[in-house]
Amino acid sequence: MAAIVAVRSGNWSDTSHVTGPWPGGVTPTTKPGVGDTVQTGAYVVTIDEDVHVALLESTSTGYFVVTDAPTLPAVRTITANVLNSGTATGAIQISNATGQVFLTGDVTGGSEVGAYGIYSTGNIGDVTGNVTGGGGDSAIGINNRGVIGNITGDIAAGKTSAYGIQSTSTIGNIIGDISGSNWYDGCGIFNDGGTIGDITGDIIGSAGAGAYGIYSTGNIGDVTGNVTGGGGKDACGIYTDGAIGDITGNVTGGGGKDACGIFNDGGAIGDITGNVTGGGGDDAYGVESTSRVDIDGVLACGPTGVVPVAGAMRLVASAANAMSFLSTVGAAWTLSNDYPAEADVKSGVDYNRGTMTGELAAGGSIGPVSIVIGGGGIRIS
């Protein structure tokens, strides 16, 4: 399809060859349609009606703006991939005070410093598509200072501080994987005091130092998916000093120093239903938390002996749950609650776990038997 470059600033709906943004020597000019790539050049194009094209691309210093949206329940819909190839602060800049703007398409930051894919102080409805930070420092995919509804799509960081999403306000539920990048401070989501709803998807720190999957000073709802630290220093799967809900999935420390699966630094944390494993990096705990966490799963040290949990925890009573630690020679010691129930033996069970000595009384056709473990051997009498 065609590549259409704006020839002046104006409203998307304006087909005048004198005042409208579209090329043409006579009125009406032809507005972009499905399959077209639309570029701003150095101009500002105001989206004042629903748009369905292949790509909205900011080039040079130009950009698209949305200042109004219809009165609910009607909404403004933009169906297009969004890319910042210029220097503008946002390929699309959204500031509608009322109504909602719904986006369907992938959103990507640019290669220049601060070249956001979308900059919003308005009200965005649902976003359906992947959101990715760009190749420029701080080239954030979506910089949200307003409200975003639900997001369905993967969220990934780009270069240094080029977060997939930065938000100081409210984001609804997210369905998709969230990952940091290989660059310093390359967080998938940087939640700066806002609120995020429930997340369904895996959350992964990456190879960059401080490349968290999610860095949050606000509140996060429930998480359904695995959470894993990355290879970079401090590249936790999730860092939060706010509240986080229940987590259903395995939580694992990463290969980098202090790259915990989850680092809860002062907020409340819900229950974890899944296995928790230490990582390969120094102090890369599966979970480090300043508040108690209840875990329904198997706890295991990492390959270098890093413990699965740093902080107060409680292992939920279940026959399937266990704690596995590495001995000084690398073999695993497993503590579990798979001991026999007292009702299943003749006279009950009483072991001293510290010295592994104890006495088991049994009965049957051969009469009472006493088995004593400890003192250098096993004695049967």
Cα–Cα distance measured from residue 46 to residue 203, given in angstroms and rounded to the nearest whole number = 36
What pLDDT score does 355 carry?
A: 46
Q: Is 342 helix (H, G, I), strand (E, B) or coil?
A: helix
What pLDDT score does 356 carry?
A: 47
Peptide bond into 73 cis (omega under 30): yes
Cα–Cα distance measured from residue 286 to residue 290, given in angstroms and rounded to the nearest whole number = 14
Pairing outcome for strands 369-374 and 377-380: antiparallel
**Token pair for 250:** 């395995």
What pLDDT score does 305 carry?
A: 84
What pLDDT score does 20 carry?
A: 97
Pairing outcome for strands 147-148 and 178-179: unpaired
Residue 306, CA distances (Å) to 126, 258, 342, 365 in order: 41, 10, 34, 49
The total number of residues written for the chain in this structure: 381
What pLDDT score does 352 carry?
A: 47
**Token pair for 180:** 């940091």
Residue 210, CA distances (Å) to 44, 256, 348 in order: 36, 10, 53
What pLDDT score does 317 carry?
A: 84
Cα–Cα distance measured from residue 281 to residue 265, given in angstroms and rounded to the nearest whole number = 19
Going residue by residue through the chain, which has 381 residues, state the pLDDT in tens, using 9 for 90 and above: 799 999 999 999 999 999 999 999 999 999 999 999 999 999 999 999 999 999 999 999 999 999 999 999 999 999 999 999 999 999 999 999 999 999 999 999 999 999 999 999 999 999 999 999 999 999 999 999 999 999 999 999 999 999 999 999 999 999 999 999 999 889 999 999 999 999 999 999 998 898 999 999 999 999 999 999 999 999 999 999 999 999 999 999 999 999 999 999 988 899 999 999 999 999 999 999 998 999 999 999 888 888 899 998 998 888 888 888 766 565 666 665 555 555 665 555 554 444 444 455 555 544 555 555 555 555 555
What pLDDT score does 1 carry?
A: 72
What pLDDT score does 367 carry?
A: 52
What pLDDT score does 324 carry?
A: 81
Pairing outcome for strands 178-179 and 369-374: unpaired
Q: Is 139 helix (H, G, I), strand (E, B) or coil?
A: coil
Amino acid at 173: N
Virtual torsion, Cα 126, 129, 131, 134, nearest 10 deg: -130
pTM for the full model? 0.85
**Token pair for 59:** 């080039």
In this structure, the number of other CB atoms found within 10 A of the CB of residue 320 comes to 11
